[in-house]
């Protein structure tokens, strides 16, 4: 008796199954926290809307498929920093600055501090200025800086 499945069909099914398995593993692979490389980097500044920010449980992006789930709404970013987590809502991109990273420390030079302060005042337009800004590199949050004292930023992750 002859087999009903041809060898080409068997190889085709095996190849498709392998590709689907590889895609699922790639999609679900736990991603590490975004970090700045040591030295200088360009980052975008986006002000955090504190009145729309809510607390979140830590560790929501850990493990398999953690990147697919989020405790936040569709219009907020899940950010872990300094041992806590928040769902932050951000405004429009304010501008780009240069920062210096030395391990777990992000320092802002004087011109970057002046830019953040000026952008915060311009963003306020008669309302209280934003208190914090999110630093973003390549679409990933890397730090949070207090507008009142923008000398250093707290790394995200």
Our CA dihedral for 30, 34, 37, 39, rounded to 10 degrees, sits at -170
Residue-wise pLDDT tens digits, 35-76: 677 888 899 999 988 787 777 776 655 444 445 556 677 778
Highest mean pLDDT among 53-57, 80-84, 106-110, 122-126: 106-110
CA proximity to 90, closest of 35, 33, 30, 145:
145
- Work out the average pLDDT over 90-115: 88
- Work out the average pLDDT over 81-107: 86
Give the whole-angstrom CA distance, residue 121 versus residue 109.
Answer: 19
Q: Which long-range contacts (CB under 8 A, 24 or more apart) does 68-74 make?
A: 68/27, 68/28
With a pLDDT cut of 90, the percent of the chain lying above it is 15
Give pLDDT, residue 126: 75
Give pLDDT, residue 59: 65
Give the whole-angstrom CA distance, residue 76 versus residue 52.
Answer: 9
The DSSP symbol for 68 reads: G
Give pLDDT, residue 66: 46
Give pLDDT, residue 44: 92
Give pLDDT, residue 64: 46
Which run of H or E residues covers position 148? none
The torsion region of residue 72 among left (phi > 0), alpha (psi -120 to 50) and beta comes to beta
Give pLDDT, residue 111: 93
- DSSP alpha helix (H) spans, the chain: 7-28, 110-124
């Amino acid at each position: 008796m002859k087999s009903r499945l041809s060898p080409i069909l068997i190889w085709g099914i095996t190849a498709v199954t392998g590709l689907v398995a590889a895609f699922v593993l790639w999609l679900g692979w736990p991603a590490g926290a975004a970090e700045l490389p040591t030295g200088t980097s360009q980052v975008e500044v986006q002000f955090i809307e504190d009145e729309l920010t809510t607390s979140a449980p830590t560790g929501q992006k850990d493990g398999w498929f953690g990147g697919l789930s989020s405790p936040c709404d569709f219009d907020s970013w899940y950010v872990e920093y300094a041992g806590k987590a928040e769902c932050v809502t951000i405004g429009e991109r304010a501008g780009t600055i240069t920062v210096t990273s030395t391990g777990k420390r992000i320092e802002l030079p004087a011109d970057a501090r002046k830019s953040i302060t000026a952008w915060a005042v311009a963003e306020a337009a008669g309302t209280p200025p934003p208190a914090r800004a999110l630093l973003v590199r390549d679409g990933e949050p890397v730090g949070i800086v207090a507008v009142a004292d923008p000398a250093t930023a707290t790394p995200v992750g």
